[in-house]
Structures are given as C-alpha cells and as structure tokens.
Homo-oligomer: A and B are copies of this chain.
Amino acid sequence: MNTLAVKLPGLDLKNPVMPASGCFGFGREYSEFYQLSELGAIMIKAATVEQRYGNPTPRVAETASGMLNAIGLQNPGVDQIVGEELPFLNQYDVPIVANVAGSTVEDYAQVTEKLTASNRVSALELNISCPNVKEGGVQFGTDPDLAYNVTQITKQHTHLPVYVKLSPNVTDITAMARAVEAAGADGLSMINTLTGMKMDLHKREPLIANQTGGLSGPAIKPVAIRMIHEVYRSVKIPIIGMGGIESTEDILEFMLAGASAVAVGSANFKNPYICPQLIKELPATLHEHGWSSVHEVIGGAHRENNQSSVSRA
C-alpha cells in the first residue's frame, strides 16, 4: 500500500497534505516557489457570487504562536475564479477544492452551480464558518439547523462531494457535525479560526480594523485536535483536519485524533515551502513512530473503543 496516498470522496490524494483555504490564494504565488503538483490537493480562497473587497486594513495581527486575520472573504468573484484562476490551476496535476461562501443560502447555491459547471474542481468546501464577515457565514456555522439547510441546498446544486468547514466557536461541535452529515455532507473540514481580538495600546482600540479577527496557528492546535477527536466519534464521514499544523508530528497528531488528511494554513506565510517539506519528511516520521502508511494512523487514538467500522480513507 502506498505510504502517503489517501482516497476521500472526490479526492484521490497522492499525499494527505494540502494548503488551507485563504492561506494560498489561488496558487499563483506559491507556484513560483515549487511545483504545485507535489501537493495532495489545493484548497483555494473563498469564492462569492460577486467580487468582494473585504474589510478595511489592518487585517492581520501577530499573537502568541499565532495570528489574527480579518480579510473578510476578499475575492475576485466566482466568475473570475472560474474564468482565470481555475484554468491556471488546472495546468497542474493536483485536485482543487473550491471554498464556497456567501451571505444567503441562494449565494451558496449560485456559487456552487458555477463551480460545478466549470468542471474544474474536484470537491467543494462549504465555508459556513468565516467569523470575519458581518452578515451570513458565521450564523450558518453556529446553528445546526441553518447548517443543515445550507448543506442540503448546496448538495442539491452539485454532483461534487461537499466538505463542510466547521467553526470552532460553538458550544457543541458534534451537533454541528451531525447536522451537516444528516444533510448529506460528504466530509468535514475543521477547524476554521477561533474569534479573537488584540488591542493596540497606542490607539487604545482593537488593532484589527474589523475589531475581531480569526485566530489561527499553533495556538489553536489543541482546540482543533480536541474537536476532531470529538467529531470522529460522532459521525462517519471523513475529516480534513487543520489548525496550527507546522510539523510532520503535528500531522500525525491530527490523524490519530481522526483526520484523514490535513491542511496547512498560516504556516505557509512563515515558510512558503512548508507543504512540500512536510510531504517529503512525512514517510520518515511515520516510520520513526512505527507506522508504515498514513492509513494506519487515521483515528488511531480511538482504536480501543472505536465501534465505527467505516474506513475513512
């Protein structure tokens, strides 16, 4: 069996490592650093119906072992993404996961249709968890009924597998996971950022213009692993894990907790080569810890008690 390959709904991954949405743009910039086809997949920046400008600046701030961002879903709009960004990415032999966002259920449906019709992406990632836009987005991500609804309607507008991206800013993440599974989600991606704030002592107000921002980076890794561990026991659909991944050991922690594949987000900013580096080092780290393939790791922390007979990879 191949050491690194993982098969997920719609995604035939040569390895389980992909850049996370919003941290890799549409791949152009990173294609100057390495061959994008080395990646397991690429999760591209959120697409909305219309072009969005996003929030005022400053949009990012550094925090202890992490950062805040409040980009606000800036993107060129789904038409331009389909017309210009996807053709560029399709040059490379790598599956594309398109991140779908909006303010209303109709927005999600429309973006989904256009992305599906393009025949240029392998799967959709439903962003119901962006904490940085005033309307929409975040409510879908914190109310199981709304999440059910938007997932179900999205599924009606596409034949592509749908991964729903969960927000960690909830009391019970398993309720969210169960709701979207019931609505037909093919997989989950988790976690999005934790809502946070930093003060500017000189200006005596929040440093980020949007006031709050999404916390990412190693700071949130323990929360991500806990939530993936909880959700793995609650649903049968596979999980793409993310939140603070910086090393191959981190990847194994996520997989033990229950992730079938992982995404690397803000660490790309620190080290533009991080994804191919992790992919290269992963086999050695696996072997060092006594595993011969990533399959053996997935959900490993549940092995003793885990009743689930589903293979998630």
Chain A residues close to B by CB (< 8 Å): 63-66, 68, 142, 169-172, 194-199, 201-202, 204-206, 211-213, 215, 217-223, 225-226, 229, 244, 249, 252-253, 256-257, 289, 300-301, 303
Q: Are A300 and B223 within 8 A (Cβ)?
A: no
Give Cα A199–Cα B300 distance, bound, in whole angstroms. Answer: 10
| B223 A194 Cβ-Cβ under 8 A | yes
Query: In the complex, A221→B197 CA distance in Å?
Result: 8
Given contacts A68-B222, A170-B170, A201-B289, 7 further A-B contacts (CB under 8 A): A194-B194, A194-B222, A195-B223, A196-B226, A197-B257, A202-B289, A204-B256
The answer to whether A197 touches B222 (Cβ under 8 A) is yes
List chain B residues, Cβ under 8 A from A197.
222, 225-226, 229, 257
Residue contact A206 to B301, C-beta cutoff 8 Å = yes
What residues of chain B lie closer than 8 Å to A215, measured between beta carbons? 222-223
Contact of A252 among B201, B212, B219 (CB under 8 A): B201
Interface core residue of A66, A220, A303 (most chain B CB under 10 Å): A220
Complex Cα distance, B256 from A244, in Å, reads 28
With beta carbons under 8 angstroms apart, the residue of B64, B201, B212 that contacts A244 is: B64
What residue of chain B has the Cβ atom nearest to residue A63's Cβ? B222
Complex alpha-carbon distance, A225 and B208, angstroms: 13
A25 to B214, CA, bound (A): 34
**A303 neighbours in B (Cβ, 8 Å):** 204
A253 to B202, CA, bound (A): 11
A289 to B301, CA, bound (A): 49
Hey, which chain B residues are within 8 Å of A256, CB to CB? 199, 201, 204-205
CB contact under 8 A between A301 and B204, given known A64-B244, A198-B222 = yes
Is the beta-carbon distance between B206 and A229 smaller than 8 angstroms?
Answer: yes
Asked if residues B64 and A204 are in contact (CB atoms below 8 Å), the reply is no
Bound-state CA distance A211–B304 (Å) is 14
- Chain B nearest CB, measured from A227 CB (Å): 9
The answer to whether B204 touches A300 (Cβ under 8 A) is: yes
Taken together as a complex, chains A and B put the C-alpha atoms of A205 and B68 apart, in Å, by 30
Whether B64 contacts A219 by the Cβ 8 Å rule is: yes
